[in-house]
Amino acid sequence: MPRRSRAPLLRGLLAVGAIALALAGCGGGTAAGSSAESLLRQTFSGGHEIASGILSFSLTVTPSGSSTFTSPVALEIGGPFESRGAGRLPASSFTITVTVLGHSGSLGVISTGTAGYLTLGGAAYRLPASAFQRLESGFEGAGGGGVTDRISTLGIDPMSWLAHPRVVGSQQVGGASTIHLRAGVDVAALLSGVDEVLARAARAAGSTPVPSSIPPATRERIEAEVRAATVDIWTGSRDHTLRRLVLSLQLPVSGRISTMLGGLGSAAIALEIQYSDLNRPQTIVAPANVVPYSQFTARLRSIEQSALGALGVGALGTAGSSSASSSVDRYGRCLQRAHGDVAKMQRCASLLNGG
């Protein structure tokens, strides 16, 4: 595969890394008060310095009723981070794991603050200087500046979409005593926040086709159909700093989308952010035995081909039919041009059937 075809993928990985670094800078406030709403305002008001810790982020979609998607689809990001001072890229060591149709793949993204590395299958590769500069720029665009930033640096203002909060108990989370709160969700306000996150991710990704917003028709459908949306929040009992957040909702699926996805009836969506060992020293060092970055692109190409074969896509290109292979290529280009527009993505499906 030509080298230029690797560039969009690399920019996408850098965008994910930038978002993770921005999450590593999220904190909470320390004002007094004990009511649920007051606790939430203190938690998301910012002003509490977080110098280091361990970040865990996950997004899981659990399908129901589909003959094609029978297991959860998940994105996970986790690892330690440590501030290098205001306005400087933190040191961090994150592992990004994607699980689809029972198959998982992981990639390590390490930043010492002055250099970046990717790790894959036990081997380490140093990012080219230009790629590392994009990671720094993406971090700044996603709210870099670091340790005193709040979660709203990603465009997320929980107080605008949390409804009817209440205190439901207490619990140990990430090595700290916390107060557990639960609230409902104003879906329309939440989607506005998601739009902002997508816009920032798209800017960080550069020319990579990352959706910059939710299409209006899709947004209206989600607002009308989302069920059982709740948020659980664990805030520090003493410092009122966010330790854990879990957003859960149920989304019915019908019509053409359901048909395209094997009769999918609904999807349970869970997003979780957790911080552990806050302000405790973290050890983040450059990997040993670094090999040339050119070997990373070659290895990634091999993994891509194996993954396509495991998912049944490779057969289209190995059955002796050049037209089938061409259909897959056209389908991939069509998805890129759709930029997340569901209606356009649906029309792309006809290309796999010779359309």
Q: Rounded to whole angstroms, how far apart are CA atoms 110 and 183?
A: 35
Q: Rounded to whole angstroms, how far apart are CA atoms 185 and 328?
A: 40
Q: Percentage of the chain with pLDDT > 70?
A: 64
Nearest in space to 75 (alpha carbons), one of 269, 283, 219, 317: 269
pLDDT value of position 355: 47
pTM strictly above 0.75: no
Terminal CA-to-CA distance of the chain, rounded, Å? 25
pLDDT value of position 32: 33
Query: 3-class DSSP state for residue 354?
Result: coil
Q: Please give the DSSP secondary-structure letter assigned to residue 321.
A: -
Position 113 pLDDT exceeds 90? no
CA-derived radius of gyration, the chain? 21
Single-letter amino acid code for the residue at 293: Y
Q: Calculate the CA 148 to chain-centre distance.
A: 21
Instruction: Find where tokens 């959860």 sit.
Output: 72
Question: 304-334, pLDDT tens digit by residue?
Answer: 666 555 545 444 344 444 444 455 556 556 7
CA quadruple 256, 304, 306, 327: dihedral, nearest 10: 50
Question: 201-256, pLDDT tens digit by residue?
Answer: 666 655 555 667 788 887 887 888 888 889 999 999 998 999 999 999 988 888 88
Alpha-carbon torsion 268, 42, 82, 205, what sign? positive
Q: What are the φ and ψ backbone dihedral angles of 134, each rounded to 5 degrees? A: -65, -35
**Type and span of the H or E element at 309:** helix 293-310
Q: Percentage of the chain with pLDDT > 90?
A: 26
Burial 260-269 (b: 16+ CB within 10 A, else e): ebeebebbbb
Q: Rounded to whole angstroms, how far apart are CA atoms 48 and 222?
A: 35
Per-residue pLDDT, averaged over 274-301, amounts to 86
Q: Please give the DSSP secondary-structure letter assigned to residue 102.
A: T
Q: Which domains does the chain have, with CATH numbers?
A: 3-293 (2.50.20.20), 312-355 (no CATH)
Alpha-carbon torsion 303, 205, 131, 84, what sign? negative
| pLDDT band, residue 29 (cuts 50/70/90) | very low
pLDDT value of position 30: 35
pLDDT value of position 124: 92
